Amino acid sequence: MKHYLTLNHLPNLETAVAEAIALKKDPFQFEKIGRNKTLGMLFFNPSLRTRLSTQKAAQQLGIKTMIMNFSNEAWALEYEDGTQMSGLRSEHIREAAAVISQYCDVVAIRAFASLTDKQKDEQEIVLNSFIKFATIPVINMESATSHPLQALADAITLKEYQQKSRPKIVLTWAPHPKALPHAVGNSFARMMGHQDADFVIANPKGYDLDPRITNGVTVVHNQAEALKGADVVYAKNWSSYDSYGQILRTDNKWMLTPEKMEQTNNAAFMHCLPIRRNVVVSDGVLDSTHSKVIEQANNRTFAAAAVLKTLLS
């Protein structure tokens, strides 16, 4: 594996999950692997879990980290070639990526979707520019269209929780006051393509994810129907993909409640966090014993460790 930009870059998802679970049991077993290695972590957007879990994973592997917030610490980057840089952007990606490659052995990048220009977002300009001009492996810490570290942690959580063969797993859209990207939903759907499960996506009309990603997946527009008999319910908001970046509804009819969870097969509840209480899901679901969100966040460390170890091996 040269880079980790999407889940498809893993040589084998099942092996990566097994490796992460082994690392979770004995996190310091490979602490010599990262000796004299440095991971650069570049954030163009905020983070709690991704930043801390990836840093912790690096520590467990003996890797040193350097962190930079590009939103307020670094020079604003120019990505266009051949442009006259007389505006606000002070540094070209060509130099920035090449220089970071002198200081680091691996670089991890978080750069969200703008949600204003679908075509530009799908070009993944930040991530792909680093791929082009850096000389070291690149890890995606959530880009415009995917969040593969989250999806690997989700696969670990599903594996640890699995109670029967071919469970019913529902990814349900949930309300949110802000327009959110599609990255988590996309990567979860991609990850489910590797699972032996009855996978259903439930979202209101107008909120279908990119059909190139959900091709072959059952998509329904009736949440109650989808939740019936579910073994795992994963809630997540995303803005409209068709009416790109738009919020099409502001009611709370799709908020997940204990009454709705009663229609499931005692389903486990998952969410990538951060989560808005009593907007996305009510306290009763989040505080119930069915909620796996803290373990899911814990698994972010071992997902990152498995990826870092593979890249350094």
Q: Decide if residue 280 touches ligand CP (CB under 6 A).
A: no
Alpha-carbon gap, residue 147 to 153, rounded angstroms = 10
Q: Decide if residue 150 touches ligand CP (CB under 6 A).
A: yes
Least distance (Å) between residue 296 CB and ligand CP: 9
Which C-beta is closer to ligand CP: that of 49 or that of 92? 49
Q: Decide if residue 143 touches ligand CP (CB under 6 A).
A: no
Pick from 3, 49, 92, 182 the residue near ligand CP by CB under 6 A: 49
Which C-beta is closer to ligand CP: that of 17 or that of 93? 17
Least distance (Å) between residue 254 CB and ligand CP: 20
Which C-beta is closer to ligand CP: that of 79 or that of 112? 112
Number of residues that bind ligand CP (CB under 6 A): 9
Which C-beta is closer to ligand CP: that of 49 or that of 182? 49
Alpha-carbon gap, residue 120 to 245, rounded angstroms = 13
Least distance (Å) between residue 273 CB and ligand CP: 5
Site string for ligand CP, 113-142 (x = CB under 6 A): -----------------------------x
Least distance (Å) between residue 253 CB and ligand CP: 25
Buried b (16+ CB within 10 A) or exposed e, 103-137: ebbbbbbbbbbebeebeebeebbbbebbbebbebb
Site residues for ligand CP, window 50-79 (CB under 6 A)? 50
Site string for ligand CP, 206-245 (x = CB under 6 A): ----------------------------------------
Q: Decide if residue 47 touches ligand CP (CB under 6 A).
A: yes
Q: Decide if residue 48 touches ligand CP (CB under 6 A).
A: yes
Q: How many beta carbons lie within 10 A of that of residue 250, not counting itself?
A: 8
277 DSSP β-pair partners: 281
Angle at 259 between CA 270 and CA 237, to 5 degrees: 40
Candidates 46-54, 116-124, 276-284, 287-295: pick the segment binding ligand CP (CB under 6 A): 46-54
In the complex, which residues of this chain contact ligand CP (CB under 6 A)?
Answer: 47-50, 142, 150, 272-274
